[in-house]
Structure 1
Amino acid sequence: MLLENKYAIVTGATRGIGRQIALTLAKNGADLIVTGTNDKLLQQLAEEIQSLGQKCFVNIGNIADPAAAKALAVNVEKNFPQIDILVNNAGINMRKPTLDMLDDEWQKIIDVNLNGTFYTCKAILPYMVKQEHGVIVNVSSSTAKTPHRNATPAYGASKAGINYLTQHLALEMAKYNIRVNAVCPGPIETDMSKQWTTEYRKKLLERIPLKKLGQPADVANMVLFLASDMAVFITGESININGGIYMN
């Protein structure tokens, strides 16, 4: 129970990696607020977390809207005595080459992935500053570090922005005993990967040194580690979780 008596927020928790992160934190003793735009899926997740003996509250909202972040802060104040952990997982992707991409498509991805992470951090950090402790884990991507033909340029740019934001906040907030790190998943088996062709999957596996796709649990376990006291001397890092397909 690495997170016993801890209070956490996970954004974008409706499915895939975000859902697994929320469950992993709950299994390790954390009470949660889970956020997203699909009320039905969030309620199902909340019930599963509550069945584990942990409290779980649902917060509906689009993090691209600054008002949603402020509403989340109100939810925290209403239901939790403090906030120990914030996991910024919410994000979107699109698969379009640069010249086919519309201006509003670029803006939407930047708004959700980068601006949404910033808005949420800005809304929750005052609580962490006041209590003089806290952990933020941002879910980035290996695409932030090296280009990927199967991702739109806005996605890589937004995730690279998250990596810089992670470092900046880690530096700025260290004096308040607040740690800020990021995880950078590579090929992970999610609903999106089920859309891949057999040929694409085969070629991808050939490029991965460990010869397998990652699982949502692989990302969730790293988030758990960074959120726990096992990582008290780690801040400002963007950690790859990709089977070795990109190393730095």
Structure 2
Amino acid sequence: MFTPVDGRTVVVTGGTRGIGKGIARVFAGAGANVVITGRDAAVAEAAADELAKAGGTVSYVVADVASAADTSRLADEVLARHGGVDVVCANAGIFPSAPLATMTEADIDEMLGINVKGAILTVQAFLPALKACGHGRVILTSSITGPYTGYPGWSHYGASKAAMLGFMRTAAIELAPHRITVNAILPGNIVTGGLSEHGDDYLSAMVAAIPMRRLGEAEEIGHAALFLATDEAAYITAQSLVVDGGQVLPESPTAMDDVAMDDV
């Protein structure tokens, strides 16, 4: 049995929807005090109300993680509510598509600003609280796209997700003396509203390429985060946990054609 996290305070940026909401739901179900962030107040309030039904205490703060002022205010509000912070899940991210040939400077700035700068600013804002708790956990939501794979239209997204791992490694060294671990989860294709926007053909092609023959659930990323937040994971730092159903394994699109379901 793992040490319970009930009563501990967990911050999930971008926790109002998608993978972040799945992470928040798992921690709430484990009895943690969860604070989610988002840029839309109405969406954040609805998400917090829904997540509170899973257990624990769930509240929200409207914040833009690309703003140092907002992340500082976020930290202040969380500390005022709960008195400390144990786990920071730097999950907020965007993934608009833009071909390299037509990608604008604004496209690049927005992607890196939220996905990379936002993660760094979030961790910075909570550093004093993480040091004070004595068992701080930083969990980054990266992706298989960038560190392991590529996809047309997402060169700036892939760059942002790979950059998060570079940040993770040095941050882990700097924070280790304070007993703070810094790890990353690399999701594959997870069922979210954003993924469904790509259409049925895209989803079918993705499922066909995944050895587990299904897309992942947001809560499955949450369970990985919950493990990394436990006391038992205290000696794990600067590691990347791929949660993708084996998506990165096939050498080519035809590799899965040779694996018939009745052979398994």
When normalised by structure 2's length, the TM-score is: 0.88
Partner of 1:105: 107
Contact 2:20/2:92 (CA < 8 Å) preserved in 1? yes
Partner of 2:78: 76
Partner of 1:206: 208
Tell me, in whole angstroms, the C-alpha distance in 2 between the residues paired with 1:92 and 1:85.
22
Partner of 1:165: 167
Given the alignment of the two structures, is residue 17 of structure 1 paired with residue 15 of structure 2, yes or no?
no
Partner of 2:257: none
Contact 1:139/1:184 (CA < 8 Å) preserved in 2? yes
User: Which amino acid is 2:61 matched to?
Assistant: N
Tell me, in whole angstroms, the C-alpha distance in 2 between the residues paired with 1:49 and 1:205.
28
Change (3 A) 1:175 1:213: same
Partner of 2:252: none
Partner of 1:131: 133
Partner of 1:41: 43
Q: Indicate the SS of the match to 1:233.
A: coil
Q: Indicate the SS of the match to 1:240.
A: strand
Partner of 1:216: 218
Tell me, in whole angstroms, the C-alpha distance in 1 between the residues paired with 2:93 and 2:26.
19
- If you compute each CA radius of gyration, which structure gives the higher value, 1 or 2? 2
Partner of 1:57: 59
RMSD value, Cα: 1.6
Q: Indicate the SS of the match to 1:119.
A: helix
Contact 2:31/2:57 (CA < 8 Å) preserved in 1? no
Tell me, in whole angstroms, the C-alpha distance in 2 between the residues paired with 1:49 and 1:196.
26
Contact 1:82/1:127 (CA < 8 Å) preserved in 2? yes
Task: Please show how residues 131-210 of structure 1 align to structure 2 within 5 Å.
Answer: 131-210=133-212
- Residues 153-197 of structure 1: CA distance to partner in whole angstroms, max 9, x if unpaired? 111111111111111111111111111100000111111222233
User: Which amino acid is 1:132 matched to?
Assistant: G
Aligned length: 247
User: Which amino acid is 2:215 matched to?
Assistant: L
User: Which amino acid is 1:217 matched to?
Assistant: E
Moved more, 127-136 or 3-12: 127-136
Gaps of 5+ in 2: 250-264
Tell me, in whole angstroms, the C-alpha distance in 1 between the residues paired with 2:144 and 2:55.
35
Q: Indicate the SS of the match to 1:236.
A: coil
Shift of 1:52: 4.4
Shift of 1:69: 0.6
Q: Indicate the SS of the match to 2:193.
A: coil
Contact 1:93/1:151 (CA < 8 Å) preserved in 2? no
User: Which amino acid is 2:18 matched to?
Assistant: G
Q: Indicate the SS of the match to 2:181.
A: strand
Tell me, in whole angstroms, the C-alpha distance in 2 between the residues paired with 1:100 and 1:125.
38
Tell me, in whole angstroms, the C-alpha distance in 2 between the residues paired with 1:146 and 1:136.
22
- Residues 47-97 of structure 1: CA distance to partner in whole angstroms, max 9, x if unpaired? 234444522232101111111111011112211121100001100012121
Tell me, in whole angstroms, the C-alpha distance in 2 between the residues paired with 1:115 and 1:5.
29
Contact 1:12/1:91 (CA < 8 Å) preserved in 2? yes
- Residues 1-29 of structure 1: CA distance to partner in whole angstroms, max 9, x if unpaired? 83112111010011111111111101101
Partner of 2:8: 6
User: Which amino acid is 1:35 matched to?
Assistant: T
Tell me, in whole angstroms, the C-alpha distance in 1 between the residues paired with 2:143 and 2:56.
29
Gaps of 5+ in 1: none
